[in-house]
Amino acid sequence: MSERDGRPRTAQLQVVEQIKSYILDRRLRAGDPLPTEPELMDAIGASRSSVREAIRTLSALDIVEVRHGHGTFVGSLSLSAMVESLAFRSLLGTTTDYRVLSDVVSIRQLMEQGFAGMIIDGLGSTERTKLADLAQQMCDLADRGKPYVEQDRAFHLLLLQPIGNELVVQLTGAFWEVQSRVATTLDVSDRNWQRTAHAHVEIVDAAAAHDLDRLQLAIEEHYAPVKEQIRTLATLAADTDPLPEERPGA
Partner DNA sequence: TAAAATTTGTACGTATGTATA
Partner DNA sequence: CTATACATACGTACAAATTTT
Q: Which of 96, 50, 87 is nearest to 243 (CA)?
A: 96
SS3 6: coil
Binding-site member from 68, 144, 191, 247 for a second copy (CB under 8 A): 68
- Angle between helix 166-185 and helix 80-91 axes, rounded to 10 deg: 30
β-pair partners for 67: 71
Binding site partner of 166, from a second copy, DNA, none, Cβ cut-off 5-8 A by kind: a second copy
Q: b vs e for 1-13, b when ≥16 Cβ sit within 10 Å of the residue's Cβ?
A: eeeeeeeeeebbe
Residue among 57 and 192 whose Cβ is closer to a second copy:
57
Measured CA to CA, the distance from residue 83 to residue 176 in angstroms comes to 9
Binding site partner of 99, from a second copy, DNA, none, Cβ cut-off 5-8 A by kind: a second copy
Other Cβ atoms less than 10 A from the Cβ of 69: the count is 4
Q: Per-residue string for binding with a second copy, 113-152, x by CB under 8 A?
A: xxx-------------------------------------
Residues within the interface to DNA (CB under 7 A): 2, 9-12, 34, 36-38, 46-50, 52-53, 55, 66-72
Contact positions vs a second copy (CB under 8 A): 10, 12, 20, 23-24, 27-29, 49, 52-53, 56-63, 68, 77-79, 81-82, 84-86, 88-89, 91-94, 99-100, 103-104, 106-107, 110-111, 113-115, 165-168, 171
